Structure 1
C-alpha cells in the first residue's frame, strides 16, 4: 500500500483524529472535543499520513511553537493496521527535519516509542529544563 504525507491543515480529518485520540491514546483522554478543536485550530503545524488510493487518513502529528526557537511535538500516532511501513518516521521527518522548525529546540512528553524519537535527536532533558506538572 502506498501512502502520502501532507502538512496542509485543511486536509486533516478532524473527526478521524478526534476518534483515535479520545479512545486509543493513553495521553490526553481528558480532553473534550471542544478542547481538541481548539488545539487543532491553534496548532503551529499539523502533518497527516494518508492512503494514496483512498485519501483515508491513517496517521497524524501536531506541533505547538513560537515559530522562532522552540516547538512542542504532540499527538503523534499511526493506526495499528498501517504500522510497519515507516509512516511514523516519515511523519517526524516532515514535521521536524523537513519543516520550518528544523533548527528549533524540540520537546515532547511520551511514555513509549523512545527509540523512534531518539532517531530525531530527542534525549532526556539536560540541567536547563524544568517542568511544572499539571494540577
Structure 2
C-alpha cells in the first residue's frame, strides 16, 4: 500500500483522530472531544499519514512548540491495520527531522515505542520521558 504524509491542517480527518484517541490511545482517553479539537487547532505543527488511493487518515502526530528551539511531540499514532509499514517512523521523520524544528530540542512522554523514538535521537531519562537534545548543543 502507498501512503502520503502531509502537514496540511485542512486535510486532517478530525473524526478519525478523535475516534483513535478516544478509544485506542492509552495515553489520553481522559480528554473530551472539545479538548482534543483544541489541541489539534492549537498545535504548532501536525502530520497526517494517508492512504494514497483513498485519502483515508491512518496516522497522526501533533507538536507544541515555542517556534524557536523547543518542541513537544504528542499523540503519535498509526491505525492498527496499517502498522508494520514503517508509518510511525515516517511520521516522526516528517515531524522532526524534515520539518522546521529539525534543530530543536524535542521531548515526549511515552509508555511504549521507545525503540522508534530512539532512532530519532530521543534518550530516556526514566521509564516515562524521553528527550531529544538540540543539534546546536
What CA RMSD, in Å, does the superposition of the two structures yield over aligned residues? 1.3
Deviation at 1:14, TM superposition (A): 0.4
Q: Which residue of 1 aligns with 2:57?
A: 57
* CA distance in 1: counterparts of 2:125 and 2:68, whole angstroms: 20
Deviation at 1:125, TM superposition (A): 3.3
* CA distance in 2: counterparts of 1:80 and 1:38, whole angstroms: 25
Q: Does 1:24 align with 2:24?
A: yes
* CA distance in 1: counterparts of 2:125 and 2:98, whole angstroms: 23
Q: SS at the partner of 1:54? A: coil
Q: Which residue of 1 aligns with 2:91?
A: 91
Unaligned 5+ segments in structure 2 are 130-137
Q: Which residue of 1 aligns with 2:7?
A: 7
Unaligned 5+ segments in structure 1 are 130-135
- Structure 1 runs (4+) deviating above 4 angstroms are none
For these two proteins, the number of residue pairs brought into alignment is: 127
* CA distance in 2: counterparts of 1:89 and 1:110, whole angstroms: 15
Q: Which residue of 2 aligns with 1:103?
A: 103
Q: After superposition, what is the alpha-carbon deviation per residue over 1:38-88, rounded to whole angstroms, capped at 9, x for unaligned?
A: 101100000000001100010000000000010000000001110111111
Normalized per residue, the structure richer in strand is: 2
Q: SS at the partner of 1:64? A: strand
Q: Which residue of 2 aligns with 1:132?
A: none
Q: SS at the partner of 2:21? A: helix
Q: Which residue of 2 aligns with 1:34?
A: 34
TM-score, normalisation: structure 1: 0.91
Q: SS at the partner of 2:109? A: coil
Deviation at 1:124, TM superposition (A): 1.9
Q: Which residue of 2 aligns with 1:45?
A: 45
